[in-house]
Chains A and B, each alone.
Chain A
Amino acid sequence: MATSTKHDLAPWVEKYRPQVLSDIVGNSNIVDRLKVIGKDGNVPNIILSGPPGCGKTTSVWALARELLGAKIDDAVLELNASDERGIEVVRNRIKIFAQTKVSLPPGRHKIIILDEADSMTEGAQQALRRTMEIHSKTTRFALACNQSEKIIEPIQSRCALLRYTKLTDAELLCRVKEVCHAENVNSDDQGLQMILFTAQGDMRQALNNLQATVSAYGIVNMENVLKVCDEPHPELMIKMITLCIEKKFFEASQIIHEFFRLGYSPEDIVSTLFRVVKYVELPKNIGEQVRMDFIEKIALCHMRIVQGLSTKLQLSRMVADLCRIEV
């Protein structure tokens, strides 16, 4: 009983984090590669780079589990951005861990996982370089980062680079549905669609939003998801776009003014609009060109907002621009 209540409180991201490589969704070519390595051992030093929530850390831990089995507690050191990771830590903690003896079968190494390695200082990375080289017989490094460019070249040169990509909506949906099923979540299609829309290829965010919606309202439908995630309502956006196509300027600007009145920042409004325009079903007779021109106008408006002109006037102007587009 106690364990089950504990589980109920755990974030679903943690609760449903894949434990083995074969459970990881997306980036199949990399994960397949890791599976082979998980069986045969001798993992090189690796850098995993990719956007947040695409399974970098999960892959590393799953790999470590497959490589080390029961020894995982002794043979893995994880340091993430919340740990102090200055040059002293590299000198002391990492080095001491690298020097400790753990008896492992041949072809298996201790693994040091450095999460969010791009936030390490250059000095610390430079110090890491040497440790990596000296202890390569017993210890391998796995660095997870969002941008591999922020890792200094000497480290990059000592690692094999694995580039993760954002998860597709289908991959996300598959996992989100599994979780819904396991948690007996009451959900409808539109609600799940909205979860995907707000997550934008980030599994962590998708599961977090799902859990937040469930714990707040119990039912996952479009309204609840939007309330939880506090995003401008995409339905209204779609309505606004159709009004623009029909050249009904006043009605369209009323909608955007309402968004503004509700307290959404112009930047939020515009970027949501952009996301909506990319996939919205337009009437048959209106083709790609309109969508293309819409994106162009939105981009121009977004640029002005970013440059500091985040006023209602700019939003109105954008609506006027959208209305003027020849259909």
Chain B
Amino acid sequence: MQNKGALYTESTHPKVASDLAVHNKKVQEVRSWLDTCFDNFPRVLLLTGPTGSGKSTTVELLCKEKGINLLEYDEECLLDDEINGNLELERYLTQSAARLLPGKPKKSIIFVTSLPDAAYNNIFDFRDRLHNAFFDLKLPVIFCLSDVDSSWHLNPNRLFTATFLQKNGIDRIKFNAVAITYLKKAVNRAASILRLTTSGTRIDAICEESNGDLRLALNMLQMNSVGRPSSSTCSAKSNREETFHMLGRILHAKRTNGTNTLMSSSQKRKLIKPKEQPKSDGIRHPLEYDVSDIIQMSSMSGEKILDFLHENELKFCDKLRNLRNISDKFSLCDTLYSDWITKQRLPDEYNAQISARNVMWFNFECKPPQWCSLHGPLLSDLNREIRDSVTELRRLSMIGDSQFTTLTSPYSTMISGILDSNQITSYLSRPMNMSWKSGRDSLHIQIDNYANSIYFKRNAEKISKIRKEAIQNEITEENDYEDEKITIEETDDEADSDDSFENFHP
């Protein structure tokens, strides 16, 4: 009762790290980042993952555990539209330390969970300002952003490209959607904290429905368990059951018995089939259920019905001829919606009507296996996989790096025998944006900046390690190699580039 009036997501907030519904490995990753983020130079972390995967909760809990103070950046502090949100963020990042340090001896981290609107509208300005802010960062920063797959505009990958991450030495940790076992554990835990009497099957249904989003699962739990336990079922679950039920009706294509008495399906199968089958051959009695009703009750889009039927039809159809006919109609449905404009304007119901009616017609007297589970369309699984790997690929440095094929790759293969090629790649693509176009003066400034840049300091450790290894190997010529290609890359000022390289020697 103490939780009356609070959202379940808040009243069941985990108190200790072991309560987190996050994979231990990920928790460990964040933990070790928090351990090192204060060393030498403040570091920057980009934490991404699907909604409700426990990103911010993990950070909050671990910081509490370590006694780190979280300074949450609140975009709402600016109500005036005249102020540039990106500038505000830059100021916040660089100045908050000065504001807070004298009073609080505690370690602090800046925690950014939402970006100003201006960041999405003007990404170049946003990147520039962040880049500037990183130069005189006093405190470590965590950007904690949800993956927004439906909208590229709000997608963190649009703002934080691989190149940008590399250029500024931003660390990245990626959370995954909560695994179903963790999800069930967490929801059960919440139910026991709140002393809910929600049945186990309902909890399972909620977990499956929520697609690895714990916050959504808890909201659904709240929706379905507020008040006394009632007989009415959770909407999401019942809808889902309904869907499969309806698909079953289409695929089984049950018909009335000629007479108006309807028997239960099991009875029909047991008693009537062996005798009546030859007799009923050829006579199709009216369907037990109206097709339009079934389609309406399934509340699925026509496209989805077609996909589902296509996936499951093979198990039901027993004659090759029928299967050919049905596949023919499926492909017709597909052609109807072949191009984008037609798809937008043609009513979606044709898909459902044609596919369902044909399946019901041709599945006449088919003998499906006794226990036959319906599967979701395989195609959508494959599509999801493809989408995942595309996003995965996009994050690789070679996609974000425009010079990958011309410079990075050839050199990294040339020196691959010497050192770890990944480290060399990251060295080669270090922030030095210079070309013939930028004047000689600006070049000097850039190089100076670079020498003082936080990136350089942050990576000094890494690079000194590389150097050490190189010395251990006692290979000197290869170092010459390295020098050489750097001069090629910069193509302008050999002396300066050598200087800058000198700085690497500890």
Interface residues in chain A, defined as those with a beta carbon under 8 Å from any beta carbon in chain B: 28-30, 32-33, 36-37, 39-46, 87-88, 91-92, 95, 106-109, 122-123, 126-127, 129-131, 134, 136-137, 149, 152-154, 156-163, 165-166, 168, 201, 271, 274, 278-279, 287-289, 291-292, 295-296, 299-300, 302-303, 306-307
Closest to B225 in A: A36
Q: Is the CB of A166 within 8 A of B296?
A: yes
Binds A, one of B160-168, B345-353, B453-461: B345-353
Closest to A27 in B: B235
Roughly how many angstroms separate A39 CA and B162 CA in the complex, as a whole number? 52
Q: Is the CB of B360 within 8 A of A288?
A: yes
Neighbouring B residues of A126 by C-beta, 8 Å: 114, 117, 120, 154
B389 interface residue per 8 A CB criterion: no
- The digit string for B206-236, where 1 denotes a CB below 8 A from any CB of A, is 0000000101100110111011101011111
Complex partner residue of B51 from A88, A95, A156, A163, CB under 8 angstroms: A156
Given contacts A40-B228, A42-B6, A306-B341, could you give 19 more A-B pairs where the C-beta distance is less than 8 Å? A33-B235, A36-B232, A92-B79, A108-B5, A109-B5, A126-B117, A126-B154, A130-B74, A130-B114, A137-B5, A152-B151, A153-B146, A154-B51, A162-B235, A163-B236, A296-B332, A299-B350, A302-B346, A302-B350
Given contacts A127-B117, A156-B51, A306-B341, contact A37 B358 (CB under 8 A): no
Q: Is the CB of A299 within 8 A of B149?
A: no
Complex partner residue of B227 from A36, A127, A134, A307, CB under 8 angstroms: A36
Neighbouring A residues of B220 by C-beta, 8 Å: 160-161
- The digit string for B85-125, where 1 denotes a CB below 8 A from any CB of A, is 00000000000000000000000000001100100110000
Given contacts A33-B232, A153-B146, contact A130 B76 (CB under 8 A): yes
Neighbouring B residues of A127 by C-beta, 8 Å: 75, 117
Complex partner residue of B216 from A91, A137, A157, CB under 8 angstroms: A157
Neighbouring A residues of B222 by C-beta, 8 Å: 42, 44, 160
Roughly how many angstroms separate A110 CA and B226 CA in the complex, as a whole number? 18
Distance between B474 CB and nearest chain A CB, rounded to angstroms: 54
Distance between A92 CB and nearest chain B CB, rounded to angstroms: 7
Roughly how many angstroms separate A162 CA and B227 CA in the complex, as a whole number? 18
Q: Is the CB of A278 within 8 A of B51?
A: no
Q: Is the CB of A279 within 8 A of B292?
A: yes
A sample of 17 cross-chain residue pairs with beta-carbon separation below 8 angstroms, ordered by A number, consists of: A32-B232, A42-B5, A42-B222, A44-B226, A88-B81, A123-B120, A126-B114, A130-B76, A153-B50, A153-B148, A160-B222, A160-B223, A161-B220, A163-B235, A288-B287, A300-B332, A306-B346
Complex A-B, nearest 6 residue pairs according to Cβ-Cβ distance, in ascending order: A157-B51, A40-B227, A160-B223, A32-B232, A299-B350, A36-B227
Roughly how many angstroms separate A288 CA and B286 CA in the complex, as a whole number? 8
Complex partner residue of A36 from B9, B10, B52, B228, CB under 8 angstroms: B228
Roughly how many angstroms separate A288 CA and B76 CA in the complex, as a whole number? 61
Closest to B5 in A: A107
Roughly how many angstroms separate A304 CA and B340 CA in the complex, as a whole number? 14
Roughly how many angstroms separate A137 CA and B6 CA in the complex, as a whole number? 6
Neighbouring A residues of B230 by C-beta, 8 Å: 32-33, 36
Roughly how many angstroms separate A136 CA and B215 CA in the complex, as a whole number? 14
Roughly how many angstroms separate A44 CA and B223 CA in the complex, as a whole number? 7
Given contacts A32-B232, A166-B296, contact A40 B226 (CB under 8 A): yes
Interface range, B side: 35 or more
Q: Interface centre among A106, A300, A306, by most B CB within 10 Å?
A: A306
Complex partner residue of B219 from A44, A299, A303, CB under 8 angstroms: A44
- The digit string for B324-345, where 1 denotes a CB below 8 A from any CB of A, is 0000010010001001011001
Neighbouring B residues of A288 by C-beta, 8 Å: 284, 287, 357, 360-361
Distance between A295 CB and nearest chain B CB, rounded to angstroms: 5
Q: Is the CB of A152 within 8 A of B216?
A: no
Given contacts A154-B148, A288-B357, A288-B360, contact A161 B236 (CB under 8 A): yes
Interface residues in chain B, defined as those with a beta carbon under 8 Å from any beta carbon in chain A: 4-10, 50-52, 74-76, 79, 81, 113-114, 117, 120-121, 146-151, 153-154, 213, 215-216, 219-220, 222-224, 226-228, 230, 232-236, 238-239, 284, 287, 292, 296-297, 299, 329, 332, 336, 339, 341-342, 345-347, 349-350, 353-354, 357-358, 360-361
Roughly how many angstroms separate A287 CA and B149 CA in the complex, as a whole number? 46
Distance between B221 CB and nearest chain A CB, rounded to angstroms: 9
Q: Is the CB of A295 within 8 A of B215?
A: no
Q: Is the CB of B219 within 8 A of A165?
A: no
Neighbouring A residues of B345 by C-beta, 8 Å: 306
Neighbouring A residues of B287 by C-beta, 8 Å: 288
Roughly how many angstroms separate A296 CA and B230 CA in the complex, as a whole number? 45
Neighbouring A residues of B76 by C-beta, 8 Å: 91, 95, 130-131, 134
Neighbouring B residues of A46 by C-beta, 8 Å: 223
Q: Is the CB of B329 within 8 A of A296?
A: yes
Given contacts A279-B292, A291-B357, A292-B361, contact A157 B117 (CB under 8 A): no
Roughly how many angstroms separate A162 CA and B238 CA in the complex, as a whole number? 11
Closest to A136 in B: B7
Roughly how many angstroms separate A162 CA and B237 CA in the complex, as a whole number? 11
Given contacts A107-B4, A306-B341, contact A152 B120 (CB under 8 A): no
Neighbouring A residues of B114 by C-beta, 8 Å: 126, 129-130
Distance between B421 CB and nearest chain A CB, rounded to angstroms: 37
Roughly how many angstroms separate A131 CA and B75 CA in the complex, as a whole number? 11
Q: Is the CB of B219 within 8 A of A45?
A: yes
Neighbouring B residues of A39 by C-beta, 8 Å: 227
Given contacts A44-B8, A288-B361, contact A36 B148 (CB under 8 A): no
